Amino acid sequence: MPQILDEAAVLAALSGLDNWTGDFKQIRRTLTAPDFPTAIRIVDVIAVAAEDMNHHPDIDIRWRTLHIALSTHDAGGVTSLDVELAADIDAIARQHGAK
Ligand SMILES: C[C@H](O)[C@H](O)[C@H]1CNC2=NC(N)=NC(=O)C2=N1
């Protein structure tokens, strides 16, 4: 299990991601897809990446808008797994024209 990142490490990680915010407990991003089917496709691609990592986000689906939250439940805060999956999510969003 990776170590929890401290506040400074989380802030440094956030600076390398697209529009993520948060703190040592959780990081969050909202993205908006071009349409609802694309939003669901994005969720599907994220699901495969998450399953491959055995690390899963919280996703709130509101029409074309996805609210995504990441933390490492087993560690009780943000770890490198969350930063890695956040970067993957950013790439998936870009590939599907989501902002
Ligand atoms: C047993 C299983 O490996 C664990 O529960 C995994 C599953 N996915 C997970 N996802 C997240 N976000 N945090 C975890 O600690 C976690 N643990």
Ligand 1 centre distance from Cα of residue 56 (Å): 6
Q: What is the 3-state secondary structure (H, E, C) of 6-54?
A: CHHHHHHHHCCCCCCEECCCCEEEEEECCCHHHHHHHHHHHHHHHHHHC
Kind plus residue range of the DSSP H or E element containing 67: strand 65-70
Q: Ligand 1 site: residues with CB under 6 angstroms? A: 54-56, 72-74
Residues 61-77 have a mean pLDDT of 98
Mean pLDDT in residue range 41-64: 98
**Per-residue pLDDT for 1 more than 90?**
no
Mean pLDDT computed over 51-57: 98
For residues 78 and 12, what is the distance between their CA atoms, to the nearest angstrom?
A: 13
**Cα of 14 to ligand 1 centre, how many Å?**
21
> What is residue 84's predicted lDDT score, i.e. its pLDDT?
98
Average pLDDT for residues 8-34, to the nearest whole number?
A: 97
Six-digit token string for 64: 């074309």
Average pLDDT for residues 16-44, to the nearest whole number?
97
Quick check: ipTM above 0.90?
Answer: yes
Distance 72 CA to ligand 1 centre (A): 7
pLDDT > 90? residue 45 = yes
- Res 3 pLDDT > 90: yes
